[in-house]
């Protein structure tokens, strides 16, 4: 149960023995992530993933993988975190892992962009879109991993044309960072698209680069690629949108979104943002579940199946090595591994099972209380 105190801060009212404890979490974002993860697990638990297995988010930060569960803290970070629990590493379906992964991808991006800017490199952000309707199926729009249909097919066709390859040679192309994104609206349905950050050597001016991207010949190639992939035809004005992208000290003003939403955030955190103008992000389905449970569970499941196994962020070949950035998987980035961490709390497997069996989720509260020095907080809730 949630309440709002007189200061407008969300508090949680939870039963403790025969009474109730009012728990205020100073980290409301963390509390929300745990609540949303619970909803994602609830949505997906009855179903198999496309490979016929269980959805890992249903066991993320729940399943103990050692003799006990530990709460740790490192001087590197201000907050506590769990150890010895399974982590799903899903940037698409798990709000907790997505937050960790996108934050660390953002740091990787900022390292690349800062270094690229320091040698006078230039950047442009290109967004490729196509037309769609509320009746379109997301799996068909996005396409399968074999790139035989949908957006994946269209992008593959587009990038293998002579016109596109000549374009790369003519603009001083260094590398590409591509982010995959989807939004949804009741009016227009699913809207999968890409944001592509082109890193350029500076030999061609930004206005000239934009002019080349907006050429009629390149648009015709994109239109033809969409048609062959079975997609709706792109709009000539918005099908290929290209804008200058600045170093991380500056910000994009794009498509009516937040005024200070940096390039690195634009690429890594799109699906975490709360939707605007009646356009929803996938995690908005979790936030809105109480309004129309069946509708948003169906939409979230369709989304989870369509994006299963997809890469949220793609670096062109050799780009990470060029900028001396370690190539880590999403699951590796989702792990909290700090060598100098100290154990604040040890929770036995039996105690953890009792915690998970409670009719409310204590996981974020245990972390918050440990940060405040209350190390045996959870014991009050599992006494027989």
Tell me: the pLDDT tens digits for 92-130? 999 999 999 998 888 888 889 989 999 999 999 999 999
Q: Which residues pair with 205 in a beta bridge?
A: none
In a domain, 342, yes or no: yes
In this predicted structure, the answer to whether residue 167 has a pLDDT above a threshold of 90 is yes
The burial class, CB within 10 Å (0-12 / 13-18 / 19+), for 146 is exposed
Based on the domain organization, do 246 and 375 belong to the same domain? no
Based on the domain organization, do 136 and 111 belong to the same domain? yes
DSSP β-ladder status, 240-244 and 122-128 = antiparallel
Based on the domain organization, do 114 and 207 belong to the same domain? yes
Task: Give the residue with greater pLDDT, 216 vs 16.
Answer: 216
Based on the domain organization, do 13 and 121 belong to the same domain? no
Average pLDDT over residues 345-369: 95
* Structural contact between residues 333 and 100, judged by C-beta atoms closer than 8 angstroms: yes
pLDDT the model gives residue 20: 37
Residue 309 token pair: 């196994």
Based on the domain organization, do 206 and 251 belong to the same domain? yes
Which of 328, 353, 371 delimits the end of a domain? 328
The mean of the pLDDT values for the chain is: 85
pLDDT the model gives residue 289: 94
In a domain, 176, yes or no: yes
Residue 66 token pair: 């050692």
Average pLDDT over residues 315-329: 93
Based on the domain organization, do 43 and 161 belong to the same domain? no
Based on the domain organization, do 71 and 39 belong to the same domain? yes
In a domain, 272, yes or no: yes
In this predicted structure, the answer to whether residue 25 has a pLDDT above a threshold of 70 is no
Based on the domain organization, do 125 and 255 belong to the same domain? yes
Euclidean distance between CA atoms 12 and 25, whole angstroms = 8
Based on the domain organization, do 362 and 313 belong to the same domain? no
CB atoms within 10 A of CB 65: 11
Per-residue confidence at 279, pLDDT binned at 50, 70, 90? Answer: confident
* Structural contact between residues 126 and 238, judged by C-beta atoms closer than 8 angstroms: no
Which of 291, 307, 328 delimits the end of a domain? 328
Per-residue confidence at 258, pLDDT binned at 50, 70, 90? Answer: very low
pLDDT the model gives residue 61: 97
In this predicted structure, the answer to whether residue 12 has a pLDDT above a threshold of 90 is no
Task: Tell me if the pTM is above 0.75.
Answer: yes
In a domain, 134, yes or no: yes
pLDDT the model gives residue 278: 73
Average pLDDT over residues 129-151: 89
Based on the domain organization, do 44 and 120 belong to the same domain? no
Euclidean distance between CA atoms 181 and 271, whole angstroms = 7
DSSP β-ladder status, 68-73 and 81-83 = antiparallel
pLDDT the model gives residue 49: 97
In a domain, 205, yes or no: yes
* Structural contact between residues 84 and 64, judged by C-beta atoms closer than 8 angstroms: yes
In a domain, 92, yes or no: no
In this predicted structure, which of 212-226, 237-251, 294-308 has the lowest mean pLDDT?
A: 237-251
pLDDT the model gives residue 1: 42
Average pLDDT over residues 254-283: 54
Average pLDDT over residues 38-43: 97
Which of 309, 328, 347 delimits the end of a domain? 328
pLDDT the model gives residue 34: 95
What's the domain range around 141? 97-328
Based on the domain organization, do 81 and 212 belong to the same domain? no
Give tens-digit pLDDT for 176-202: 999 999 999 999 999 999 899 999 999
Per-residue confidence at 383, pLDDT binned at 50, 70, 90? Answer: confident
In this predicted structure, the answer to whether residue 170 has a pLDDT above a threshold of 70 is yes
In this predicted structure, the answer to whether residue 275 has a pLDDT above a threshold of 60 is no
Based on the domain organization, do 238 and 299 belong to the same domain? yes
Q: How many domains does the chain have?
A: 2
């Amino acid at each position: 149960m949630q309440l709002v105190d007189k200061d407008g801060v969300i508090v949680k009212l939870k039963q403790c023995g025969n009474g109730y404890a009012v728990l205020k979490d100073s980290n409301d974002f963390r509390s929300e992530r745990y609540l949303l993860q619970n909803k994602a697990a609830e949505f997906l638990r009855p179903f198999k993933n496309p490979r016929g297995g269980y959805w890992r988010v249903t066991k993320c930060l729940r399943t103990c993988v050692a003799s006990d569960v530990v709460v740790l803290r490192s001087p590197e970070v201000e907050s506590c975190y769990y150890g010895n629990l399974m982590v799903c590493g899903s940037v698409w379906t798990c709000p907790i892992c997505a937050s960790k992964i996108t934050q660390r991808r953002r740091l990787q991006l900022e390292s690349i962009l800062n270094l690229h800017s320091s040698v006078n490199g230039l950047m442009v952000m290109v967004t490729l879109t196509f037309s769609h309707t509320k009746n379109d199926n997301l799996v068909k729009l996005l396409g399968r991993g074999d790139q035989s249909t949908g957006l994946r097919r269209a992008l593959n066709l587009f990038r293998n044309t002579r016109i596109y390859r000549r374009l790369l040679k003519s603009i001083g192309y260094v590398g590409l960072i591509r982010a995959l994104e989807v939004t949804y609206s009741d009016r227009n349905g699913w809207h999968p698209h890409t944001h592509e950050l082109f890193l350029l050597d500076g030999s061609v001016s930004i206005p000239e680069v934009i002019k080349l991207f907006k050429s009629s010949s390149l648009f015709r190639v994109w239109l033809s690629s969409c048609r062959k992939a079975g997609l709706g035809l792109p709009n000539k004005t918005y099908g290929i949108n290209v804008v200058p992208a600045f170093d991380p000290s500056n910000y994009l003003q794009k498509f009516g979104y937040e005024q200070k939403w940096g390039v690195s955030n634009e690429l890594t955190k799109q699906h975490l943002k709360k939707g605007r103008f009646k356009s929803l992000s996938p995690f908005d389905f979790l936030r809105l579940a109480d309004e129309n449970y069946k509708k948003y569970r169906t939409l979230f499941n369709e989304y989870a199946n369509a994006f299963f196994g997809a890469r949220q962020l793609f670096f062109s070949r050799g780009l990470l090595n060029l900028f001396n950035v370690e190539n880590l998987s999403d699951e590796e980035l989702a792990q909290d591994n700090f060598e100098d961490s100290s154990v604040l709390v040890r929770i036995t497997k039996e105690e953890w099972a009792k915690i998970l069996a409670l009719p409310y989720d204590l996981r974020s509260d245990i972390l918050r209380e440990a940060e405040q020095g209350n190390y045996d907080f959870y014991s009050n809730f599992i006494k027989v």
